Copies of this chain bind each other. A is one copy, B any other.
């Protein structure tokens, strides 16, 4: 289970703005998904563990990101790493948007500064501090997408209710199909070229002049 003391909402921005990572200890019936291509679920609706996600396609990393200028200062730093299943990635390269059965993983790791011969800046710690998944499963979820929270990467994930603020925030600010492609450096140019940027995102960028 993740060390809960070091977690904060701010570390989760690359995937799920405004969704706090709640760490719930639950009895878990663990069954590994067999294929990277399709999300798989337990009978209670939990998302099964994604055991090979570190071999999926890497999208980006951030550090200490927050969407609130008044976010509480943390006494530690954390990296976020984002991965997507290879079939969804290849579809995005071709179309500029996500196909059904897209699975995006947010992995949170502590940031260390002094270690080995490193003296400054930050590198990633071995311990995973948080784990969250964003799934596109059009027939299963009313808004096509759903978030799942995990208290460990190798246990089942719990569905985040559709009323949670992460869904609202993603719908209001995400660059492509409710995902934060504006923070994925290799995909943003593709979305621009393919004309798949969301109207809400284009309007927001135009208003802030940061396009």
- Give A contacts to B, CB under 8 Å: 10, 13-14, 17, 54-55, 57-58, 60-69, 71, 79, 81, 83, 86, 89, 109, 111, 114-126, 173, 175, 180, 182-183, 185-186, 188-189, 201, 204-205, 210
Contact = CB atoms under 8 A, between A and B. Distances in A.
A65 B183 contact: no
B86 A116 contact: no
Counting every copy of the chain, the complex holds: 2
Contacts of A114: 210
A185 B114 CA distance: 15
Nearest to A119: B69
A201 B117 CA distance: 10
Contact of A10 (B66, B79, B120, B186): B120
Contact of A126 (B116, B180, B189): B189
Which of A17, A55, A71, A185 has the largest count of B CB atoms less than 10 A from its CB?
A: A185
A65 B120 contact: yes
Counting from the closest, the 10 A-B pairs by CB-CB distance are A64-B121, A58-B58, A65-B121, A61-B61, A66-B120, A62-B123, A69-B119, A116-B182, A126-B185, A123-B183
Contacts of A111: 63
A55 B148 CA distance: 25
Nearest to A65: B121
Contacts of A17: 117
A60 B180 CA distance: 21
Contacts of A186: 54, 126
Contact of A204 (B58, B116, B180): B116
A97 to B, nearest CB: 18
Contacts of A183: 116, 118, 123-124
A54 B92 CA distance: 14
Contacts of A115: 182, 210
A105 to B, nearest CB: 11
A128 to B, nearest CB: 8
